[in-house]
């Protein structure tokens, strides 16, 4: 770091947001770090730590109307202070010399324009080039980022591409003008482990090819180990620790850094309880229970749910009059024991979520049985199935979309109790709702608040509390911790385990995060293109995977 020329220097960066009524929120409180030429620096921390605010300040994307910078704050790029530039100067620089990949490509790509048109737009905006030449270059860029058949895909709309392909298009747009600095803001958070690995390898290859620097923003320290030369750990707007990647991982100095490393479930251990950030910051980490949690299903464990040859097929329009069938789930069979967890893993499009929703009759099936207490749930009428709805429930992936924004938390929790006739009056329902909020570590005052007043982790706790209002025996957890910070993820996983220990609930745990699945699952079911390719006790499957696809998934785990 010392012998390299610094491409970017952040000096005493302070950023405040005016909140109205004379209030201010200090997002960054005197941050200092550098990004040398031809290197990768990772900004690491939880939501609210200031990582993205730092990136937005570099790009000039913070709202002008209510943002204040410190008088002595500087963002130096090749010696030029970006904070002193006009909007026109900053606009000319960003995209050409500095570019950014955002977290969610579906909200970053324009859905009404073809992907080629969006790449061409960037090229024509920043370079003296004809539209025809720009299209030729766009095809080259799509090929460079690994999009198959780029001559055809250039005319695709974003929704016609997979999540990994959408992110590759975003990378193609970002490198179109060959910038010297690429800012990647959580570019792999929602991607499958294999696609995530491909994106990391692609970024490393592009860095070598174009000689650019990368500022990589993430909350996943295992991922940082794969890509970063230097790591900057942020918490509540300040830098807690920074240094070379290798030394920081070998001997982290700050309790917060140690907490981030310890919160993440590991592939080689399964502690009785995952530590959370507060344990380390308060010095309670030494008091955590010792030992490993045993997993697995025995022959005499009682079976609560048996899925037999379940299938689901979609009919899709093709052309003007044509149709084609997509076999989302093909002949899947497994058993779920009482008080146990079956983890369901696979890449996007493998049929994981469709399987879970079909079991709960949120999708119709095209064959097979789901046996619960001797009855086939698939053959019941809607009226006969109604009593089972409160016994089999689901926690959805996105807590932002699954909670009604017009309802208070109290209404959200009381509504299912009213629908299913749980308790005879609203007073008893409200009392039970408050008990559940306390059970998921939410303050009593949350009862009267609305979903938008809470963080993502708190919303997921509310979703779990809503699910518990009906005292279900089986819960389908559909990517329910995938978008959470590692510390919040640890809290939710601990909560799910506590509830399972206390109430002997059974889980179908759907996830693309293989570390998390190993931690919480007794058995693991691997899906690929709608088919179950492997099914075994979790320790056995991770120790000795039989199917080549399972071997491929496990090989892609960061840090393994």
Altogether, the residues listed in the chain come to a count of 560
Tell whether the model's pLDDT for residue 20 goes beyond 70. yes
Contact in structure between 174 and 97 (CB atoms under 8 Å): no
Lowest mean pLDDT among 13-17, 89-93, 104-108: 104-108
Model pTM score: 0.82
pLDDT in tens, 248-297: 989 999 989 988 888 888 888 899 888 888 888 887 777 778 888 889 99
Helix (H, G, I), strand (E, B) or coil at 29: strand
pLDDT at 483: 67
Question: How far is residue 266's CA from residue 55's CA, in Å, rounded to a whole number?
Answer: 29
Number of neighbours of residue 457 by Cβ within 10 angstroms: 20
pLDDT at 288: 79
- Burial track 234-247 (b if 16+ CB lie within 10 A, e otherwise): bbebebbbbbebee
Tell whether the model's pLDDT for residue 1 goes beyond 60. no
Question: How far is residue 265's CA from residue 542's CA, in Å, rounded to a whole number?
Answer: 14
pLDDT in tens, 358-373: 999 999 888 999 999 9
pLDDT at 321: 75
Contact in structure between 478 and 395 (CB atoms under 8 Å): yes
Pairwise pLDDT comparison (408 vs 46), residue with the higher score: 408
Confidence class of residue 538 from pLDDT cuts 50, 70 and 90? very high
DSSP run (H or E) holding 93:
helix 87-93
Contact in structure between 115 and 154 (CB atoms under 8 Å): yes
Tell whether the model's pLDDT for residue 422 goes beyond 80. yes
Confidence class of residue 461 from pLDDT cuts 50, 70 and 90? confident
Number of neighbours of residue 136 by Cβ within 10 angstroms: 13
pLDDT at 452: 86
What backbone phi and psi angles, to 5 degrees, belong to 451? -55, -35
pLDDT at 341: 97
What is the share, in percent, of the chain residues with pLDDT greater than 90? 53
Question: How far is residue 118's CA from residue 490's CA, in Å, rounded to a whole number?
Answer: 39
What is the share, in percent, of the chain residues with pLDDT greater than 70? 98
pLDDT at 414: 96
Q: Name the nearest CA neighbour of 535 among 307, 265, 360.
A: 307
Contact in structure between 363 and 312 (CB atoms under 8 Å): yes
Q: Report strand pairing: 181-185 vs 98-101.
A: parallel
Tell whether the model's pLDDT for residue 96 goes beyond 90. no
Question: How far is residue 204's CA from residue 249's CA, in Å, rounded to a whole number?
Answer: 20
State mean pLDDT over 385-392: 91
CA distances from 113 to 98, 106, 158 (A): 24, 12, 8
Number of neighbours of residue 398 by Cβ within 10 angstroms: 16
Confidence class of residue 439 from pLDDT cuts 50, 70 and 90? confident
pLDDT at 504: 92
pLDDT in tens, 486-510: 888 888 899 889 889 988 999 999 9
pLDDT in tens, 64-85: 888 999 999 999 999 999 999 9
Q: Report strand pairing: 303-318 vs 523-528.
A: unpaired
Tell whether the model's pLDDT for residue 542 goes beyond 90. yes
Tell whether the model's pLDDT for residue 3 goes beyond 70. no
Contact in structure between 119 and 99 (CB atoms under 8 Å): no
Residues ≥6 apart with Cβ < 8 Å to 448 = 408, 409, 410
**Please, what is the average pLDDT of the chain?**
89
CA distances from 472 to 392, 481, 530 (A): 5, 19, 27
- Check the CA dihedral 241-246-249-253 and report its sign: negative
pLDDT at 280: 82
Residue 104 CB-density burial (10 A; 0-12 exposed, 13-18 middle, 19+ buried): middle
pLDDT at 492: 85
Tell whether the model's pLDDT for residue 57 goes beyond 80. yes
Write the CATH number of the domain with boundaries 1-97+180-253: 3.40.50.300
Confidence class of residue 559 from pLDDT cuts 50, 70 and 90? low
The class level of CATH for 303-555 reads alpha beta
pLDDT in tens, 147-200: 888 999 999 999 888 777 888 899 999 999 989 999 998 887 767 778 788 888
Lowest mean pLDDT among 259-263, 283-287, 348-352, 409-413: 283-287
For residue 464, give both structure tokens. 């779990």
Residues of the chain with CATH 3.40.50.300: 1-97+180-253, 303-555
Write out the E strands in 201-237: 213-218, 230-235
């Amino acid at each position: 770091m010392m012998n390299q020329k610094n491409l970017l220097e952040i000096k005493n960066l302070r950023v405040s947001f005016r909140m109205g009524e004379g209030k201010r929120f200090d997002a960054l409180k005197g941050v200092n770090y550098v990004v040398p030429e031809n290197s990768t620096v990772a900004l690491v921390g939880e939501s609210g730590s200031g990582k993205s605010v730092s990136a937005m300040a570099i790009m000039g994307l913070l709202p002008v109307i209510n943002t204040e910078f410190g008088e002595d704050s500087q963002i130096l790029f090749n010696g030029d202070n970006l904070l002193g530039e006009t909007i026109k100067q900053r606009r000319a620089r960003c995209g050409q010399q500095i570019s950014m990949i955002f977290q969610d490509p579906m909200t970053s790509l324009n859905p009404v324009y073809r992907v080629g048109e969006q790449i061409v737009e960037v090229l024509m905006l920043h370079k003296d080039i004809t539209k025809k030449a720009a299209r030729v270059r766009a095809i080259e860029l799509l090929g460079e980022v690994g999009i198959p058949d780029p001559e055809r895909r250039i005319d695709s709309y974003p929704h016609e591409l997979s999540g990994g392909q959408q992110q590759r298009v975003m990378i193609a747009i970002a490198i179109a003008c060959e910038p010297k600095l690429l800012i990647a803001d959580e570019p792999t958070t929602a991607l499958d482990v294999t696609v995530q690995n491909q994106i990391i390898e692609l970024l490393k290859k592009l860095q070598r090819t174009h000689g650019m620097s990368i500022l990589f923003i993430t909350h996943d320290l295992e991922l940082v180990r794969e890509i970063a030369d230097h790591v900057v750990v942020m918490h509540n707007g300040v830098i807690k620790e920074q240094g070379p990647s290798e030394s920081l991982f070998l001997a982290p100095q700050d309790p917060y850094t140690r907490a981030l490393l310890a919160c993440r479930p590991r592939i080689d251990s399964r502690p009785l309880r995952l530590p959370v950030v507060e344990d380390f910051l308060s010095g309670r980490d030494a008091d955590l229970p010792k030992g490993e949690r045993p997993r697995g299903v025995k022959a005499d464990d009682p079976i609560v749910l048996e899925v037999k040859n379940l299938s689901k097929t979609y009919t899709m329009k093709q052309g003007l009059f044509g149709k084609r069938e997509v076999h989302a789930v093909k002949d899947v069979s497994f058993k779920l024991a009482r008080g146990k967890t079956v983890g369901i893993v696979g890449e996007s499009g493998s049929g994981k979520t469709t399987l879970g929703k079909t079991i709960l009759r949120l999708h119709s099936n095209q064959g097979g049985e789901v046996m619960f207490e001797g009855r086939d749930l698939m053959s019941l009428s809607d009226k006969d199935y109604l009593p089972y709805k409160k016994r089999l429930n689901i926690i959805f992936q996105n807590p932002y979309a699954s909670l009604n924004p017009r309802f208070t938390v109290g209404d959200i929790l009381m509504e299912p109790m009213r629908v299913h006739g749980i308790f005879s009056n609203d007073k008893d329902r409200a009392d039970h709702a408050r008990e559940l909020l306390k059970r998921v570590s939410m303050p009593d005052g949350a009862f009267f608040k609305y979903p938008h007043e809470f963080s993502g982790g708190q919303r997921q706790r509310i979703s779990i509390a809503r699910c518990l209002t009906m005292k279900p025996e089986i819960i389908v957890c559909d990517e329910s911790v995938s978008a959470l910070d590692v510390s919040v993820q640890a809290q939710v996983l601990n909560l799910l385990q506590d509830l399972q220990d206390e109430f002997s609930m059974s889980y179908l745990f759907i996830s693309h995060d293989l570390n998390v699945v190993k931690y919480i699952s007794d058995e693991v079911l691997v899906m690929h293109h709608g088919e179950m390719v492997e099914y075994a006790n979790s320790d056995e499957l991770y120790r000795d995977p039989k199917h080549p696809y399972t071997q491929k998934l496990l090989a892609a785990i960061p840090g393994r």
